[in-house]
Structure 1
Amino acid sequence: MHFTVLGAGAMGLRYGVLLQEAGNQVDFVDTWQTNVDQIHRQGGVYVSRDHQNRHLVPVKVSTPEDYHDDPDVWVVFTKQMQLADFLTRTAHAFNDHQYVLTCMNGMGHVEKLLHYFKPEKLLAGTALVATVLNGPGDVDFIGARGAGTMNLANYTEQPDDMTHRIVTELDKCQFHPNLTTNFRGTLLAKVVFNSVVNTLCTLFEITMGEFAAYPGADELSRQLIDEAYDVCERDGVTMLNTRAEELASVNYVSKVANPLHYPSMYQDMSHNRPTEVDYINGYLVKLGQKYHYQAKTHAFLTHLVHLAETTRQASTATEHDTEQNVQDATEQASQQASA
């Protein structure tokens, strides 16, 4: 099959590289010019697993404007806030016979994708797969091969032959795809998971294992899970897991599958990039308001993440100003000495 991955970041590269290794034709499209240029210069992407066995994997990458091929399936892994622009720039390559698969974090992407793809050709899901982008053209797969899992569903909740073919290819990559017929329940399961682990690990700059080791972790998780489930149930969503099963999932991934992993929201925060908290905890807050339910804990955490973003940006700006002042003073002193 022919796959084209939109977004050559951590998750996009992991899915694309493994699909390529499984014998598929895979292209990458990315809007980060530095990343595209670096991959071109080095002839591919450097891939490690758990910081070891770093090796170059040849891949084909281009910017949206330069891409004109016709894949069977688009695989979309961008940040929520970047998706609309990404799709606009790539729209010339979309057509009615193509399928699209996405396992992005948060909520809001499905509506944007439906502007370009038919409902019966849209598959969306969740991926409990830990990956880190070390820098342009350099990715680290976290966890042993086959350690991750994923759930996916058709938007119409009616799997067709192409859906099963896609699932087969994902299974070859050892993503362990679980095909469901519960579209919203599938997506919201990951939103709830991320609203606990991603947000708390980001705020306290800790790994998932460090969070799980805290004696009060279950109490924190349960409070957020209960509030999220209260929201989802008011919206008529049938969740994939019970509340107890969702807590067990948080604990298993944090303690066993990826205890050394820093979630993607932390990675964004640590690099002073905007986080997706509005599409995760913030989404649950807004959905609750629709039914006059106040998801107060999620609202509080959303504000805390934005506060952390603001203070980090201010600190970075101050450090930059200080460095510039030192540089200016040094240059001035040098000029005076020369005079």
Structure 2
Amino acid sequence: MKYGVIGAGAMGYRYGVMLQENAGVDVDFIDTWEPNVEKVREQGGVSVARDHQNRRLVPINIYYPEEYQGHPDVWIIFKKQMQLEDELKRDAAAGLFHDDQAVFSAMNGMGHFEKIAQYFPAEKIICGTAMIATRLDGPANVDFMGAKGTEQMHIAQYAGKEPTPVTQKVIADFEKASLGPIFAADYLGMCMSKVVFNAVVNTLCTMFEVQMGQFIEYEGVPKMAQQLFNEAYDACERAGIHLIETRQEEIDSVTTISHEYKYHYPSMYQDFSKGRPTEVDYINGYIAKIGRENDYVCRTHEFVTQQVHLAELMRKYH
């Protein structure tokens, strides 16, 4: 199948390059960040390293939405939550979306599938989560974090419990690409499992401006994680959302994954450090929202969300 990646950022590059190189499929990239597009064109591709080593230039095809004439079978969307609505409007106005196309996204946070569903039928939306760490160090400059073969992700239908024929083909291509896909029957439980993980690691690493390996050095991390996870699980249970991992599995994953990606700054910190708004409202804030809607106050998530926004505001004094 042919893929079109909307959002040539850290994860967009990761998926597109691995599909292109490992699965041998055609991939086009769509982006609206002019320095990124022009740098790719200037240097003849995207500069790719893995764990800061073996940097190389990977030739890719990249376009602004208005100039793209291709017709992918599947769109892959990786945008920041705050940018997604405007991106979809621009892409739709440029005539990129067609009735015979499916769409996949594994963005951080929650709320993006509802926006995507305004442009694609529910049965053609493929949901994903990715335990795959990647850094965008500048325009057309990306670093894949973690050893080869450690990539793991989940994939589910937005509507229905069984994979459609198109989803089966996507899973096969993702397997060839070494992205480590695992099918899950319940997209909501799958997605919330990743959200509650990010609500600990992404948010706390951002607040203290540390790498994941530095974060996990503190012996109190499991207790901190347990407090945040317990609130999240309590809220989800009241909302009838059943996460695909147990509370203990989530706690254990914080240690395991933080050691695996010890040199990685989570994506929330990458935004924070560059003066951009973070996605905390779509992560900790979303968990707190589920709690409020189900007569349960997630006091720690409410507090942490406000702390991150306070830190965002205080950047102007530094």
Same-fold call, TM cutoff 0.5: yes
Alignment pair present for 1:302 and 2:305 = yes
Q: CA deviation at 1:287?
A: 1.1
What corresponds to 2:72 in structure 1? 71
What corresponds to 2:32 in structure 1? 31
Aligned AA for 1:26?
V
Q: Taking every aligned residue pair, what percent have the same amino acid on both sides?
A: 52
- Write the distance in 1 (CA, Å) between the matches of 2:195 and 2:81: 13
Contact 1:64 1:86 in 2 (8 A): no
- Write the distance in 2 (CA, Å) between the matches of 1:267 and 1:177: 25
Contact 1:124 1:152 in 2 (8 A): yes
What corresponds to 1:118 in structure 2? 121
What corresponds to 2:201 in structure 1? 197
Match for 1:140 among 124, 133, 143? 143
Task: Map 1:133-212 onto structure 2 (within 5 A).
Answer: 133-156=136-159, 157-212=161-216
Task: Map 1:1-339 onto structure 2 (within 5 A).
Answer: 1-21=1-21, 22-91=23-92, 92-156=95-159, 157-255=161-259, 257-312=260-315, 314-315=316-317
Q: CA deviation at 1:148?
A: 1.8
1:106-146 per-residue CA deviation (whole Å, 9 max, x = no partner) reads: 00100000011111111111101011011001101111112
Q: CA deviation at 1:158?
A: 2.6
Aligned AA for 2:215?
F
| Aligned residues: CA RMSD | 0.9
Q: Which runs of 5+ in 1 are unaligned?
A: 317-339
1:42-81 per-residue CA deviation (whole Å, 9 max, x = no partner) reads: 1110001111111111001111111231100000100000
Which of the two has higher C-alpha Rg? Answer: 1
1:276-299 per-residue CA deviation (whole Å, 9 max, x = no partner) reads: 000000001111110121101001
Report SS of the residue matched to 2:153.
strand
Q: CA deviation at 1:213?
A: 1.5
Report SS of the residue matched to 2:174.
helix
TM-score (normalised: structure 1): 0.91
Report SS of the residue matched to 2:200.
helix
Contact 1:36 1:61 in 2 (8 A): yes
Runs of 4+ in structure 1 deviating by more than 2 angstroms, as ranges, are none
1:216-267 per-residue CA deviation (whole Å, 9 max, x = no partner) reads: 0000000000000011111101110110111111211012x21111100000
TM-score (normalised: structure 2): 0.97
Between structures 1 and 2, the one with greater helix share: 1
The higher relative CO (CA closer than 8 Å, separation ≥ 6) is in 2
- Write the distance in 2 (CA, Å) between the matches of 1:143 and 1:53: 13
